[in-house]
């Protein structure tokens, strides 16, 4: 089944859930906002109902990727206007009405590596950040000296996905970081990679895809 979000945004660019699947968050480029939905059955989108929105327009007018830290007290948005990662603090976990922009000191530019960042994720403990984008067609890995604090990020290395996808839009890892998945709208597929060292993209190699 499916769940229509066009009443809130007709250009959705990313999606994520809270830890127990009772909330869904959809980022949109049309409204430049994050739309929050409640799910009466965890992780079942057919049971979703719109709750509220949070605008990111003041920080990013082309938002493409979003994620949270582990406990939902921090939220991150990237996009190809600022070419940066914007960090937000949430006083109530996974409640976007309690979100506030952490300030320019908590904004991290990725423009030296990618000028159209389209996706963002972290490793399990927040000491690594990964940005995927259309211009480099690669996954960029950053090290964070303070977990989940993007102001402490520094670039490490990258991994090209161009041979599989020339317009990558999103990425994810399995739990231990030994598998990576990349999606995009050139191949319209999910590409799977294995990593011999968990969450180290320099050790990645292509395995297979799913259309």
Q: Which of these, 80, 63, 82, lies nearest to 16 by C-alpha position?
A: 63
Answer whether residue 103 shows pLDDT above 90.
no
Distance CA 23, CA 17 (A): 6
Answer whether residue 163 shows pLDDT above 90.
yes
Question: What are 109-142's pLDDT values in tens digits?
Answer: 999 999 999 999 999 999 999 999 999 999 999 9
pLDDT at site 106: 84
Question: What are 170-192's pLDDT values in tens digits?
Answer: 999 999 999 999 999 999 999 99
Mean pLDDT of 148-158: 97
Collect all residues with Cβ–Cβ distance below 8 Å to 191 and sequence separation of at least 6: 161, 164, 165, 181, 182, 183, 206, 208, 209
Answer whether residue 1 shows pLDDT above 90.
no
Q: Which of these, 178, 181, 155, 182, lies nearest to 168 by C-alpha position?
A: 182
């Amino acid at each position: 089944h499916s769940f229509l979000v066009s009443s809130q945004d007709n250009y959705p660019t990313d999606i994520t859930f809270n830890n127990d699947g009772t909330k869904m968050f959809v980022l949109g480029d049309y409204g430049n906002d994050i739309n929050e939905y409640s799910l009466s059955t965890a992780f079942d989108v057919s049971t979703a109902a719109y709750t509220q929105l949070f605008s990111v327009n003041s920080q990013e007018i082309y938002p493409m990727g979003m994620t949270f830290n582990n406990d939902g007290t921090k939220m991150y948005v990237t996009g190809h206007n600022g070419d940066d990662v914007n960090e937000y603090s949430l006083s109530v976990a996974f409640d976007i009405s309690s979100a506030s922009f952490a300030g320019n000191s908590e904004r991290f530019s990725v423009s030296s590596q990618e000028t159209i960042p389209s996706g963002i994720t972290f490793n399990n403990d927040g000491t690594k950040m990964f940005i995927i984008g259309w211009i480099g067609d690669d996954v960029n890995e950053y090290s964070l000296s303070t977990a989940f604090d993007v102001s402490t990020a520094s670039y490490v290395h990258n991994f090209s996905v161009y041979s599989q996808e020339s317009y990558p839009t999103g990425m994810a890892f399995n739990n231990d970081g030994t598998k990576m998945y990349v999606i995009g709208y050139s191949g319209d597929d999910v590409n799977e990679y294995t990593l011999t060292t968990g969450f180290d993209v320099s050790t990645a190699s292509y395995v297979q895809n799913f259309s």
